[in-house]
Amino acid sequence: MNNNVHNLIIIGSGPAGYTAAIYAARANWNPILIEGPQLGGQLMTTTEVENFPGYPDGVEPFQMMDDLRRQAERFGTVFVSGVVTKVELGKPHKIWVEDTDVYETNALIIATGASAKYLGLPSETTYRGRGVSACATCDGFFYRKKTVAVVGGGDTACEEAQYLANLCEKVYLIVRKPFLRASQIMQDRVLNNPKIEVLFEHNTVRLTGEGKVQGADLVYRKGEPDEQLHHIAIDGFFLAIGHHPNTQLFRGMLETDEEGYLKTLADSQACIGAAGVFAAGDCCDPRYRQAIVAAGSGCKAALDADKYLKTL
Ligand code: NDP
């Protein structure tokens, strides 16, 4: 092996990336982990993690991610802070960090996670950072004692609505279907919270306000004979309508599904399209999207990378 070429680079600092690093470091591959734009990954945008095994009283995301990071560090993972801007897959793979530093590696684990989706309304862009947010736990504090709306009917939307209900005067939950998709326990909590008003079968048409969000125009039962337009007065508008995978860097190089989630072989975390490239966590998981699943796939990716590196 060329001495300038590293054994293994891991991109991403969520549960998948850190778990891959723990396993790869303990196997003596001296992995380098590039932390990316959001240290700790998406989990850092939640309030408390109650469903990660091993924390019977729940754990703050910062604490959990710090624990994982220190565990990876203990076995010799080297951390690089920065964002990967370009990748060339080959022998070796080349990774550019912040366009300037180039790293070469024999194996690569992609654990770049996923990012929040927006509705795509022009007014959403106008008010981004001025009342529009995709992270209640990051920005909820600014809306204390105010009225806000959350869009979405899944677990994230319900969790964010409850979080905001603790801070705000009132929370509208705007749901496009006549039912919630969230788990039953989350639905019960939302439906029994007197501060949350669920607006079923509503879609957002536009946001309004002078320089910041002050309201939203909604349509009820769009296209039906009883279609109606509503206006709600709000100070904040929170998106919780799902995520898209952070895989743009690999477009055209690795096989993905139509939403861009990386495809892996049926019996391993190996990506399809280049040898020695593995994927773990939400960037290849449109289905479960849980921290524990991401951690499990990070472990599998590290074991698969270990096997691959031994063949070189
Ligand atoms: P989901 O994909 O589960 O839900 C997305 C929601 O947004 C759906 O209600 C969907 O509506 C709605 N939506 C999507 N696009 C639009 C649109 N253009 N306009 C209006 N509404 C829209 O995403 P989540 O982020 O909620 O959850 C992802 C995964 O993470 C799930 O598996 C979930 O269980 C899990 N999770 C678990 C948590 C926990 O256990 N503590 C916390 C948070 C998430 P529709 O139903 O009509 O498609």
Tell me the CA–centroid distance for residue 241 and ligand 1, in Å. 5
Tell me the CA–centroid distance for residue 138 and ligand 1, in Å. 19
Tell me the CA–centroid distance for residue 133 and ligand 1, in Å. 16
Which of 121, 137, 156 to mutate for ligand 1's pocket (most ligand atoms within 8 Å of CB)? Answer: 156
Name which of 268, 290, 311 is nearest 183 in CA terms. 290
User: What number is the average pLDDT over the span 18-40?
Assistant: 97
- Give nearest CA residue, ligand 1 atom 30: 289
Task: Report the pLDDT value the prediction gives residue 148, as an integer from 0 to 100.
Answer: 98
User: How confident is residue 289, by pLDDT bands cut at 50, 70 and 90?
Assistant: confident
Joined together, the tokens standing for residue 105 give 């590696």
Q: What is the pLDDT of residues 186-241, one digit of tens each?
A: 999 999 999 999 999 999 999 999 999 999 999 999 999 999 999 999 999 999 99
**Residue 2 pLDDT exceeds 60:** no
**Catalytic site residues?**
135, 138-139
Q: What is the pLDDT of residues 56-115, one digit of tens each?
A: 999 999 999 999 999 999 999 999 999 999 999 999 999 999 989 999 999 999 999 999
Q: Looking at 77-81, 119-123, 271-275, 285-289, which range is the least confident one?
A: 285-289
User: What number is the average pLDDT over the span 242-258?
Assistant: 96
Return all residues near 5 (Cβ < 8 A) that are at least 6 apart: 92, 104, 105, 106
Pocket of ligand 1 (CB under 6 A): 51, 119, 151-157, 159, 176-177, 181, 241-242, 289
Return all residues near 1 (Cβ < 8 A) that are at least 6 apart: 7, 106, 312
Strand partners, 219: 203, 229
Q: What is the pLDDT of residues 114-173, one digit of tens each?
A: 998 999 999 998 998 899 998 887 789 889 999 999 999 999 999 999 999 999 999 999
Tell me the CA–centroid distance for residue 155 and ligand 1, in Å. 6
Does the pTM exceed 0.85?
A: no
Task: Report the pLDDT value the prediction gives residue 3, as an integer from 0 to 100.
Answer: 57
Q: Can you state the angle between helices 155-165 and 184-191, rounded to 10 degrees?
A: 30
Please say whether the beta carbons of 201 and 209 come within 8 A. no
